[in-house]
Structure 1
Amino acid sequence: MIEDDELVRTTLSETLIGEDIEVAGLANAEDALILLAAGQVPDVLVTDIDLGPGLNGFDLAEIARARHPEVEVILISGTTPDPGRKALQRHERFLQKPFAPDDLAAAIRKAGPHDQVEP
């Protein structure tokens, strides 16, 4: 999970851990790219859209999917995504802040690989 607000990141991480969801909380996209390059690929990438200076959540999602097409993405933000941006991709979901931390846990479970059906 990539969230630049430390309080939000900590709160969401603690809730997810309490839901038996393994989580690594990071403050920026660049740290996430280091983990992805090292082969640490999550089943679900949760990222805030606005991450401050540097890459944003859309950029991170695009890079992550280019390297690992199977990665599911949940974008979170306190603002609605720019309507001029292309529609969310197949592997992207969106949660508008504020949301209940339990809602994020439910979205992760829904997006996770255990929810996929073999052809």
Structure 2
Amino acid sequence: MKNIRILLIDDEEGFSSVLAKRLTRRGVEVITAADGAEGLLKLDTELFQVVVLDMKMPGMNGLQVLKTIKNRHPSVEVILLTGNADMDSALASMNAGAFDFMLKPANTEILTHRIYDAAKNSRVCMDRAG
């Protein structure tokens, strides 16, 4: 599957930078945002099939961002990443419409496969001109 474009929302710049490079090497186009507000702005103006979203961030947390994404952009799939194995957060995010919930640091190969699966499931059309 080609033309996979994701938005990576994470406040840890080092983590985002490394993950973006690893995913880019695997053929995924990655745009980053440092927090939920910046990520939502990018979603309102650009097309993405998948959002990879950190659960714990200053300002809006991942669950709040997820709910806003699903409200404004229901066809975008969201994979949540968290540093803590919190089953309540995992259940809440899945109930709010997350495609998947993974622990950080996520194995890049597994995450790449989940991104491909989510992109296949996404109803965002990336073939639009413009």
Q: TM-score, normalised by structure 1?
A: 0.84
Aligned to 1:9: 16
Q: CA deviation at 1:92?
A: 2.5
- Do 1:2 and 1:48's aligned partners in 2 also have CA atoms closer than 8 Å? yes
Query: Are 2:51 and 1:45 aligned?
Result: yes
> Which AA in structure 2 matches 1:49?
M
Aligned to 1:70: 75
Query: Larger % of strand: which?
Result: 2
> In the TM superposition, what are the counterparts of 1:53-68 in structure 2 within 5 Å?
53-68=58-73
> Which AA in structure 2 matches 1:71?
V
- Do 2:10 and 2:34's aligned partners in 1 also have CA atoms closer than 8 Å? yes
> Which AA in structure 2 matches 1:73?
V
- For the residues of structure 2 that align with 1:10 and 1:87, how far apart are their CA atoms? 24
SS in 1 for 2:114: helix
SS in 2 for 1:105: helix
| CA root-mean-square deviation | 2.1
Q: TM-score, normalised by structure 2?
A: 0.78
Runs of 5+ in structure 2 lacking a partner? 1-7, 124-130
Runs of 5+ in structure 1 lacking a partner? none
Aligned to 1:31: 38
Number of residue pairs the alignment of both structures matches? 114
- For the residues of structure 2 that align with 1:115 and 1:41, how far apart are their CA atoms? 11
Identity of aligned residues (%): 28
SS in 2 for 1:112: helix
